[in-house]
Amino acid sequence: MAAPPENSASTSGKKVAVVVFVHPIGDGARVGIAYDRSVPKQEVQADADRLTAAGHWHIADMQVDNSPMLPNQPPTTAALLTLQNAPQFSPAGPQIQPYLQAFQRFNTIEIDFLWPSALAQPPHVLSTPDYVETLLCENGLYRYIFAIKKHTGLLADPNALLRLTVSQPTNPPKPSEEKSGKKTEGIVLLRNVTIGGCILLLLAVAYVLSRRHR
């Protein structure tokens, strides 16, 4: 179901194993995850458990799908999470550390934060003993690409190492009203944001996945 996210690695020259797209809503978020291969559900659950443990967050809902994006393609895994009690921004910037810790087992990952107030800035590259970080600041979107060197133990907090001027709205987006157990199409509202093709595919994954489980 998930589109192979290797195109997102063009800036780092390495294939991205997993793309995580974060749509902050109120004190939580909707999170789309696209793996570049088929991943057993228990591994997806383990990644989600590491995420909530690192952020001290709660998962209100998780959906996982394993099917090819297009006919005659191998299956890949997509997941859609709803996080609660999970503020996604601090004064230092997006809460990257929990996602970085959750997907530490992969060599290269991309974490994309939608934020309407984000302003385009020159690329930032940070090299540490734990990882090499490439940060692309686009209008409405923060894109973090990590080439991870250290696959066990606590990783350095990117926000503590790379100081970024973050613009935050005074009134963060609030969760849309919806019936319990029923997904809305709110994540697809991101279609109006000019972002990379891979991310648009990830949004399509999240949308189709949400419709399948209604």
Both tokens of residue 17? 């194993």
77 three-class SS? strand
The pLDDT of residue 8 is 46
**Phi, psi angle pair for 116, to nearest 5°:** -55, -30
* pTM of the predicted model as reported, rounded to 2 decimal places: 0.74
pLDDT tens, residue order, the chain (214 aa): 443 444 444 444 578 999 999 999 999 999 999 898 999 999 999 999 999 999 999 999 998 988 776 778 888 898 999 999 999 988 888 899 999 999 999 999 999 998 888 788 899 899 999 999 999 988 888 899 999 999 999 999 988 886 654 544 444 455 444 433 333 333 333 323 323 444 444 554 554 444 444 4
Residue whose pair of structure tokens reads 């809902």 in the numeric block = 61
Q: Within 142-194, where are the H helices?
A: 158-161
Q: What local confidence, expressed as pLDDT, does residue 153 receive?
A: 92
Backbone angles phi, psi at 50, to 5 degrees: -65, -35
Nearest residue to 210 via CA among 38, 32, 58? 32
Give the total residue count for the chain: 214
3-class secondary structure, 63:
strand
How high is the pLDDT of residue 184? 33
The helix/strand/coil state of 147 is strand
